[in-house]
Structures are given as structure tokens and as C-alpha cells.
Amino acid sequence: MEMMILNARIPIWKEEVYYDLVIKEGKIVSADAHEGMQSGGRPFLFDPGLQAAAENTWDVQGAVLLPAFSDIHMHLDKSHSLPFARNVSGTLEEAIESYGRASQFATDENMKARMRKTVLSALAHGTRAIRTHIDFHTRLEEDVTFRGVRMALELRKEFQSIVEIQVFPMLPYYPYDGQDRARIEELLTMDIDGIGGAPHISTEPHDGVRELFRYAVQHNLPLDIHTDESDDPNTNTILTIAEETKRYGYEGRVNVGHLCSLAAMDQEQADHAIRKMKEASLTAVTLPAANLYLQGRGDKGTVRRGVTRIKELRAAGIQTVTASDNVCDPFHPFGRGDLLQIAQLTGYAAHMGGKQDVTDLLHMISDEPAAIIGRKNQGIQAGQKASFVLIQAYSVEELFAALPQTRAVFGNGQWLSVMNTNVSYGLPAANLTI
Ligand SMILES: [Zn+2]
């Protein structure tokens, strides 16, 4: 079975040319560039009815094509919980307290329905891989402790080969007693993909980091840690994370998220932390939506943004990407799992709007996060399994200005989702999809 895509714009490669992709048995055979559009092929009209028709030659007429997105930091269990878990103060502290209380009343069905809604929305917007953190409170009813992980593992199975879901339970942030350890041990028998946590909120943050590493190393699992989500420049678990990574030879297996206090540090402290991160080959993810919303709540006047030093990290050679974090919950009341929207927000938060910046932003939601979570065999390079999103935009400027929601997602040898909102942004008639 062969499919061809003619006249695609792939702005993470070269913006001024068009590409033709040849896909055979779900794999990219070739991706050749040419100047000027070629004729031939059936016009690709973002028709929601085309799922069955993978075998064809499609002329996409200059639409933007990108490797399918990887959203490597979400919280599916919490998503869409806002109606029953409010946050009046808008702080991280109240969000944790509010969701912790509300989670005791969630049912399996309720939680799974909310998770599924988020995954389907992410897919429709171009995402084919999600790494989700899942709460794991060991001091609640046993059923409540394990519900999120159980539901996430069931969902992982339900969506396999459509959206890869990686399940990273967050080990508790308090010092552990016997019951905590017994439940953690049970969790570690459950076929999870890695370990998460938020040790910076522990009363013993550095010991908390060491606990996470002990469990991860013992069970040979990668780590993805909520790191220093605080405006306090003295919050610096990042240094212990870098130290432990080197001590256990865990380079390349530790990803850190948030790094808000890195933004609050003075330049000398920040340079030191970035150097240590580089030495330990840490990768990083910024979560600007949640941080713009939660951080700086104690500030008046010039309010700190809480967003980490994205450009400095990238300039230092630390792979730094961007992700959604929370969707419609007490940590972040907005969102739809749309990484293009997050890329735009990252552009605002990090002063990234120049020509190279926007190309970087597209890398930060597509091939780079895919590499961090081990999906190097999926994408749009020859030899990779074809996994891409086509967006009804005909230039990078239009992509970021309009964030068109008319998109088509291809993977696993077929069209997986086509969303057509029939919104015209004043494009030339030839590009309209009526
Ligand atoms: Zn998070």
C-alpha cells in the first residue's frame, strides 16, 4: 500500500521549498524537495470522511506538515476536574489541596472519561504521544491511591498504536513511613513506564530527590521530575538531581520540568545550575501555561512569569522542549491539549518570535520531545514510521497567528483524525477547503 503527499511545507526543514513524501506500509520511503508546486494528485480537503482512504496521492497545496507532536508533560488524571476542584487563590498550594480533596470522590468512570476527552482532543490537534504524570497519594483510601494509575494503564492499552501514553506516577513528596513504602512497592509491580515526583515541595526536598533515584535505579526506570516549581531562588533540588544522575550513571534518562526557581536565581547561581544540568545530560521541559497562571502570585507590580530560562538552556546545549501540563483543572483552568497553542504561548513567555525562534518552537513540540521520550523511529524522515500532522496553514506566520484547528493526523499507516472547523482566515480562494 502506497500513499503520496505532494507539495507539503515542512518549516522545520526548509521553508521556501515544497516536499513530496512517499509512504509505503506506514513507513516514510522518501521526502524530496522541489521549488514551486507540482501538479497532480487529489486535492487534500481536510475531509473528516477520508480516514479509510490512506491509499492515494494527495496534493496538500502547500499546507504545513510537521512530525506528530509529543506532549511529554500532562496530568490526564486531573484534566477537566475544574468543575469539582476549584482554586480560589490561584496558587499551587491551593491547587494541590483542592485536587487532593476532590480526587477522593472521583469514580473510575468519571476519571477515565475525563482522561479520554483530553487524549482525543490532543490527538485531534496533532499529538501522538503523551507522557502523563499521575498522582499517587499513599495516605488516602487504597482505592483512591491506585485509581489514577489503574485508569491510565487501561487508557494506555485502549489507545495503543494511536496515541502512545507513557504513565509516570508521582511518588509522594513527604518522608515515607511503612504504609507509604508498601504501596510504592506495589505500584512498582504495575508495568508503569517511569517514575515522577515533586520533591521540591517536601519538607526534606533533597532527601526526596535521593528517594526517587533509589526507587528508579532499583527498578531500572527513567525519571521525570517536577523540579523547583517555585519563585524562591533558594529552591534548588536541580543541583541534587544533577548530582544523583551522575552518581548512578543515569545520564539521558532524567527529564526535569518547570525549573521556575532557575528563573528567579541571580545570574551566577543560574549559570552554575545550568552547567550542572549540562554535565548530567539532563533534558528539560517548560510548562508556560501552568507557570504563568500559578507563579508570581505573591508579587505586586511587575509580576514574575515563573517561566524558566528557555533560551539560555537551549543555548547551553540542554534539550529543552515545551508541553501542556494541566488542562482545565485547578492548576490551570484553560487549555485543550493543543501543542501549537502552547508553542505560541511559549513564544510570548520566552520572547521567542524571530525567524529562528519560531522554527525552534516547532521543534520543541515535535521531533525534540519525541526524542526525549524515546520515539526516534516515528516522524517524517526516510526510514521512520510515518507520523505527522497536516495543518490548514500555508506559511509559518499564518500557523502561529491563526493556530488553525483544521488538522489531519496520520500514523500507524492510516488517517487517525481529521478535524475541520471550516474557519476561513481570509486565505486566497485556492487554499480554502469549502
Ligand atoms: Zn506537572
Q: What is the pLDDT along the chain (434 residues), one digit of tens a residue?
A: 789 999 999 999 998 999 999 999 999 999 999 999 998 888 998 988 775 566 689 999 999 999 999 999 999 999 999 999 999 999 989 999 999 999 999 999 999 999 999 999 999 999 999 999 999 999 999 999 999 999 999 999 999 999 999 999 999 999 999 999 999 999 999 999 999 999 999 999 999 999 999 999 999 999 999 999 999 999 999 999 999 999 999 999 999 999 999 999 999 999 999 999 999 999 999 999 999 999 999 999 999 889 999 999 999 999 999 999 999 999 999 999 999 999 999 999 999 999 999 999 999 999 999 999 999 999 999 999 999 999 999 999 999 999 999 999 999 999 999 999 875 555 554 554 44
Q: Are 119 and 31 within one domain?
A: no
For residue 329, give the amino acid letter: D
Q: Are 317 and 333 within one domain?
A: yes
Q: Are 19 and 141 within one domain?
A: no
- Does 372 fall in a domain? no
Q: Are 360 and 410 within one domain?
A: no
Distance from residue 292's CA to the centre of ligand 1 (Å): 13
What is the total count of domains within the chain?
2
> If residue 227 lies in a helix (H) or strand (E), which one and from where to where?
strand 223-227
CA-based end-to-end distance of the chain: 29
CB 28 within 8 A of CB 380: yes
Distance from residue 288's CA to the centre of ligand 1 (Å): 11
CB 322 within 8 A of CB 342: yes
Which CATH number fits the domain that encloses residue 9?
A: 2.30.40.10
CB 151 within 8 A of CB 192: no
- The pLDDT of residue 240 is 98
- The pLDDT of residue 40 is 86
- Does 8 fall in a domain? yes
Distance from residue 133's CA to the centre of ligand 1 (Å): 7
Q: Are 53 and 78 within one domain?
A: no
Tell me phi and psi for residue 39, to 5 degrees: -95, 170
- The pLDDT of residue 52 is 52
Q: Are 383 and 319 within one domain?
A: no
Distance from residue 348's CA to the centre of ligand 1 (Å): 20
For residue 367, give the amino acid letter: D
Q: Are 92 and 13 within one domain?
A: no
Q: Are 325 and 413 within one domain?
A: no
- Does 371 fall in a domain? no
Distance from residue 80's CA to the centre of ligand 1 (Å): 15
User: d(Cα 376, Cα 55) in Å, to the nearest integer?
Assistant: 25
Q: What is the 8-class DSSP label of residue 325?
A: B
Which of 315, 344, 365 is the last residue in one of the domains? 365
Which of 325, 343, 365 is the last residue in one of the domains? 365
Distance from residue 395's CA to the centre of ligand 1 (Å): 32
For residue 246, give the amino acid letter: K
- Does 373 fall in a domain? no
Q: What is the 8-class DSSP label of residue 50?
A: G
Neighbour-count burial for 253-272, b at 16+ CB within 10 Å, e otherwise: bbbbbbbbbbbbbeeebbee
Helix then strand then coil, in percent of the chain rounded to 5, is: 35, 25, 40
Distance from residue 74's CA to the centre of ligand 1 (Å): 6
User: What is the biggest distance separating any 2 CA atoms in the chain, rounded to whole angstroms?
Assistant: 69
CB 357 within 8 A of CB 381: no
- The pLDDT of residue 1 is 75
Distance from residue 326's CA to the centre of ligand 1 (Å): 7
Residue whose entry in the numeric block shows the C-alpha cell 548512578: 248
Q: Are 49 and 167 within one domain?
A: no
Residue whose entry in the numeric block shows the C-alpha cell 524530496: 32
Three-state secondary-structure class, residue 292: helix
Distance from residue 143's CA to the centre of ligand 1 (Å): 22
Q: Are 341 and 406 within one domain?
A: no
Q: Are 194 and 334 within one domain?
A: yes
User: d(Cα 391, Cα 214) in Å, to the nearest integer?
Assistant: 44
Distance from residue 138's CA to the centre of ligand 1 (Å): 18
- Does 293 fall in a domain? yes
Provide the residue range defining the domain that includes 74: 70-365
CB 63 within 8 A of CB 394: yes
Distances (CA, A) of 114 to 76, 106, 205, 326, 329: 8, 11, 32, 12, 11
What are the residues whose beta carbon lies below 5 Å from ligand 1 (ion)? Answer: 325
Distance from residue 73's CA to the centre of ligand 1 (Å): 6
- Does 79 fall in a domain? yes
Distance from residue 225's CA to the centre of ligand 1 (Å): 9
- Does 278 fall in a domain? yes
Residue whose entry in the numeric block shows the C-alpha cell 483530553: 118
| pTM of this structure | 0.95
Which CATH number fits the domain that encloses residue 295?
A: 3.20.20.140
- The pLDDT of residue 144 is 96
Q: Are 83 and 219 within one domain?
A: yes
- Does 143 fall in a domain? yes
Looking at the DSSP bridge assignments, the partners of residue 32 are 20
